[in-house]
Amino acid sequence: MKTVKAWVSAARLRTLPLSISGIVVGAALATAKGAFDVTTFWLAILTTIAFQVTSNFANDYGDGIKGTDANDRIGPMRALQSGNLTKNQLFRGILLSISVSVLLTVAVVIQAFGMQQLKLLILFLLFGGFSIWAAIKYTMGDTPYGYQGLGDVFVFLFFGLLGVMGTTFLFTKHLEVLDVFPAIGVGLLCVGVLNLNNLRDMESDKRHGKRTLVVKMGFAAGKKYHYCLLGFSAVSFIVYAIGTAKDIWDASYLIAFTPILWHLATVVKTNDPRLLDKELKKLALSTFFLALTFYITLNYFL
């Protein structure tokens, strides 16, 4: 039972709602165009969950062996840090989650494109392979990009642009210009969650050589960066609303930014990084709530 709890802890299930937010928004865009397929949707959800679990295992392993997850770190204790899982156990878990990710990637791509659209099939298999690579290389290896301040770029790309527009394309086989704005909006919110994590861990990261953007720019500038991320996310969704809404009800998903504004007000008043830990869950769930609200609005009001 203890081992099961350790694996559940390492999988960090609380990160899953944020990870599938882009899939929900992408599916919303596709459904509004009359191109939804339930099998493709659930395979996309499962594939994304597999990517996220792989990333979480790799993050636990990479930070653990580098000593970044030390006792001075704020937040939940990791599996390797606590000793609940050994390095060999966690490494085998990473290999298993990679295998599951590969199988699910192949399944969703074949479901979406079949063998007739071979070029698209190969392209999306490459996207899947790149996603698995990115999940692993965030903290693992000699030159993990998360230690070079590039985590924000990769989160924006995979959780935002590729997550939303890639999902939409799986259903529709084409994209429209306005689709990019919800993708940008979701991507910026996901970067906001990472930035919040980096604000919380700034001192610990600095001591262990993890040069996140927050470590490079400092706590005060990191907070201003956070305001920009969330503000431009709202602007992106507003632009999409202006381009598609026929009346105010068509843009009612913008109400879902209310808890995000409350979160922002808390961050403005917070100068102790330790107090930001509880805000991570709030922003992640608020992003997921926005994704669900977006889906409902597009497919029941538009």
Tell me which of 299 and 107 has the higher pLDDT: 107
pLDDT at 89: 87
Q: How far apart are CA 123 and CA 264, in angstroms?
A: 38
Indicate the angle between helix axes 118-137 and 38-66, nearest 10 degrees.
Answer: 30
pLDDT at 78: 65
Range from 80-84, 133-137, 296-300 carrying the lowest mean pLDDT: 80-84
**CA quadruple 132, 136, 142, 146: dihedral, nearest 10:** 110
| Strand residue runs (E) in 112-264 | none
Nearest Cα residue to 18 out of 289, 284, 293, 291: 284
Q: How far apart are CA 249 and CA 297, in angstroms?
A: 8
CA atoms within 13 A on the CB side of 255: 10
Contact 65, 208 (CB under 8 A): no
Contact 230, 192 (CB under 8 A): yes
Give residue 204's pLDDT band: very low, low, confident or very high (50, 70, 90).
confident
Residue 77 clears pLDDT 70, i.e. is over it: no
pLDDT tens profile 2-38: 678 888 888 888 899 999 999 999 999 999 999 999 9
Give residue 301's pLDDT band: very low, low, confident or very high (50, 70, 90).
low
Residues 6 or more apart from 293 whose CB is under 8 A from it? 252, 253, 255, 256
Contact 219, 58 (CB under 8 A): no
Residue 51 clears pLDDT 90, i.e. is over it: yes
Q: How far apart are CA 6 and CA 79, in angstroms?
A: 6
Residue 257 clears pLDDT 70, i.e. is over it: yes
Residue 55 clears pLDDT 70, i.e. is over it: yes
Stretch 154-170: mean pLDDT: 97
Stretch 170-196: mean pLDDT: 97
Stretch 195-218: mean pLDDT: 91
3-state secondary structure at position 116: coil
Give residue 85's pLDDT band: very low, low, confident or very high (50, 70, 90).
confident
Contact 44, 125 (CB under 8 A): no
Residue 246 clears pLDDT 60, i.e. is over it: yes
Q: How far apart are CA 280 and CA 289, in angstroms?
A: 14
Nearest Cα residue to 107 out of 160, 65, 47: 47
The residue behind tokens 């107090």 is 275
Kindly report the length of the chain. 302
pLDDT at 27: 98
Q: How far apart are CA 160 and CA 151, in angstroms?
A: 13
pLDDT tens profile 227-237: 999 999 999 99
Whether the model clears a pTM of 0.95, i.e. scores above it, the answer is no
Summary mean pLDDT of the chain: 91
Stretch 111-137: mean pLDDT: 94
Range from 50-54, 65-69, 82-86, 145-149 carrying the lowest mean pLDDT: 65-69
Q: How far apart are CA 201 and CA 185, in angstroms?
A: 25
Residue 82 clears pLDDT 90, i.e. is over it: no
Give residue 70's pLDDT band: very low, low, confident or very high (50, 70, 90).
low
First to last CA, the chain: 48
3-state secondary structure at position 174: coil
Range from 101-115, 127-141, 285-299 carrying the lowest mean pLDDT: 127-141
Percent over 90 (pLDDT), the chain: 73
pLDDT at 73: 55
